[in-house]
Amino acid sequence: MTLPVGDADNPGMSLPARCRPAIVLVLAAALAGPAATAPRQDGRKVSRQAAAAPSYAGHPEARRFAAEAAERRGLPQDWLAQQLAQARRVAAVQKLVMPPPAGTAKNWAAYRARFIEPRRIEAGVAFWQANEAALLSAEQRHGVPAEVVVGVIGVETFYGRITGNYRVVDALATLAFDFPAGRSDRSAFFRGELEEFFVLCAREGLDPQAVK
């Protein structure tokens, strides 16, 4: 999955487009490894709040998306429609995508100390070693240095320890079909990200309802 990238202090920061394919390739290889060959048993659980939220079953834009994505990418239209029917609109995601209130200037020293510290460095080395082949392949294919990919994954997920509180399919469907008013419309971008997410899941054998 490729989402706009930003840490808690910089939620609006976007990842350069040329970096995204390399990071997706490395994450896909990592997800396909022995430690993640199947979703966790609780991966499909939906919170009561999410279960009460409107689903995208029968949503006209979701139906159109399924038909068009199926034709473009060679995915089964029925499968796409089934996955979207289980996706739910998440109001909190709509709020999180809005521009943050103006704040004070960030302190670089404090930011650096947060991310350049022994535990994260140790985890980064282990991640690099475990995914060396995929990192090399991504660098050769996309021209993005391995250290850039490893650094971004470290900031965004602490090398898999922090994976988010929302299902990817819910978050992307919400922003693809119900992008909030009050800022420039980016629904087209998130529809593209939703399509890439389904392509990734189909290729890697992942359950779209279990990925966070």
Contacts of 3 (CB under 8 A, 6+ apart): 168, 171, 172, 193
Residue 123 has pLDDT above 50, yes or no: yes
- pLDDT given for residue 5 in this prediction: 38
- pLDDT given for residue 91 in this prediction: 95
> How far, in Å, are 88, 98, 146, 179 from residue 46 at the CA level?
10, 24, 35, 22
Rounded Cα–Cα distance for residues 24 and 19 (Å)? 9
| Residue 156 among the catalytic residues | yes
Tokens of 30: 């990592």
60-68: long-range contacts (C-beta < 8 A, 24 or more apart)? 61/176, 61/177, 62/87, 62/173, 62/177, 65/176, 65/177, 65/191, 65/194, 65/195
**Mean pLDDT for the stretch of residues 172-182:** 95
Quote the mean pLDDT of the chain: 81
- pLDDT given for residue 165 in this prediction: 86
Residue 25 has pLDDT above 90, yes or no: no
Which of residues 123 and 104 earns the better pLDDT score? 123
Catalytic-role residue among 156, 195, 196, 204: 156
Residue 69 has pLDDT above 50, yes or no: yes
pLDDT band at 52 (very low <50, low <70, confident <90, very high): low
Residue 18 has pLDDT above 90, yes or no: no
